[in-house]
């Protein structure tokens, strides 16, 4: 059974880069690593967030940790131009062992795939200096609201979320970030919501958002089909719903992710 719902093929690796750029205005709205020097990124994937961090904060050195050799190989290629500002470590974030402490950390769209997010956060904390700044950004799939109808889209997201739970992940981990960080020993955690709210006011934005969601949801299709928890028809109908939603200027689409900020 696949244990990572999006897989590691080149199309998915490219999607991660496009996703990071598309979501950057929301994800980085309040991220501030000014004054920090040495950042630890866990679940860095193909380096899509790393690139944005390196560009936004020129004083940062970044250590990228990912459990997938394939993702790290692609990250090395994608970030080659940054030279020794970035290094790569293949490790499970839940068993992190780096022998040094960092003054900044960043985790994005990763805890949702980890069977024990609390363990990852505790290990991460062991690698932070006092006063270190940490941002964690995560999905909250139960926040999805669409109207009117769009039952195929709703059904697909339910199937995908159930499958993610079955393989040890949590598609609602975002809403638990406050509790998880508190339990991991971070005392002053703040959380904020951001995401999508399409309605009659959305104009051109509607098409951009529904196109992004098509690619995001399609990326889980191979795993769902391979495990027999979805069919080609399920995927086709979901895409048709998103197409309709993109064309209906009064349709409502609402989804929120959660970003937590804390210092150690
Ligand atoms: C959806 S991708 C996000 C990548 C990157 N943060 C981004 O936003 O583009 C999740 C990444 O987490 C990695 N991952 C999953 N479980 C992990 C674990 N236990 N330790 C380290 N990395 C993990 C996967 O290999 C994958 O590259």
Determine if the pTM surpasses 0.85. Answer: yes
- pLDDT tens digit sequence for 192-213: 999 999 999 999 999 999 999 9
Pair 110, 226: CB distance under 8 Å: no
Q: Domains in the chain, please, with CATH? A: 10-263 (3.40.50.150)
Of all residues in the chain, the percent with pLDDT exceeding 90 is 91
How would residue 264 be classed by pLDDT, with cut points 50, 70 and 90?
Answer: confident
Coil, strand or helix at 244: helix
- 14 burial (CB, 10 Å; 0-12 / 13-18 / 19+) is middle
Of 15, 93, 94, 113, the residue with max ligand 1 atoms within 8 A of its CB, to mutate for a pocket test, comes to: 113
- pLDDT tens digit sequence for 57-89: 999 999 999 999 999 999 999 999 999 999 999
Of 66, 75, 168, 169, the residue with max ligand 1 atoms within 8 A of its CB, to mutate for a pocket test, comes to: 66
Q: Which tokens go with 68?
A: 């997938």
Label the pairing between strands 61-66 and 86-90: parallel
- Cα separation, 134 vs 124, whole angstroms: 10
Region 221-231: mean pLDDT is 92
Distances (CA, A) of 172 to 1, 17, 77: 21, 23, 32
Closest atom, ligand 1, to C-alpha of 17 = 9
Mean pLDDT of the chain: 95
């Amino acid at each position: 059974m696949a244990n990572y719902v999006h897989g590691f093929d080149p199309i998915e690796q490219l999607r991660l880069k496009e996703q990071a750029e598309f979501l950057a205005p929301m994800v980085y709205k309040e991220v501030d690593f000014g004054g920090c020097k040495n950042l630890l990124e866990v679940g860095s994937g193909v380096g899509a967030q790393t690139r944005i961090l390196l560009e936004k904060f020129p004083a940062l050195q970044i250590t990228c940790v990912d459990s997938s050799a394939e993702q790290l190989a692609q990250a090395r290629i994608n970030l080659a131009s940054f030279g020794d500002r970035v290094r790569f470590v293949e490790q499970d974030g839940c068993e992190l062992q780096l022998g040094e402490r960092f003054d900044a950390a960043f985790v994005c769209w990763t805890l949702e795939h980890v069977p024990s997010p609390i363990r990852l956060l505790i290990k991460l904390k062991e690698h932070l200096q006092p006063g270190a700044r940490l941002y964690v950004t995560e999905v909250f799939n139960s926040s999805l609201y669409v109207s009117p109808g769009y039952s195929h889209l709703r059904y697909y997201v339910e199937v995908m979320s159930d499958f993610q739970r079955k393989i040890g992940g949590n598609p609602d981990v975002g809403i638990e970030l406050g509790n998880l960080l508190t339990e991991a020993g971070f005392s002053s955690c703040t959380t904020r919501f951001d995401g999508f709210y399409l309605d009659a006011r959305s104009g051109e934005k509607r098409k951009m958002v529904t196109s992004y969601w098509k690619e995001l949801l399609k990326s889980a299709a191979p795993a769902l089909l391979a495990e027999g928890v979805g069919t080609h028809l399920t995927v086709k109908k979901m895409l048709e719903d998103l197409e309709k939603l993109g064309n209906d200027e009064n349709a409502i689409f609402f989804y929120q992710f959660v970003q937590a900020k804390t210092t150690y």
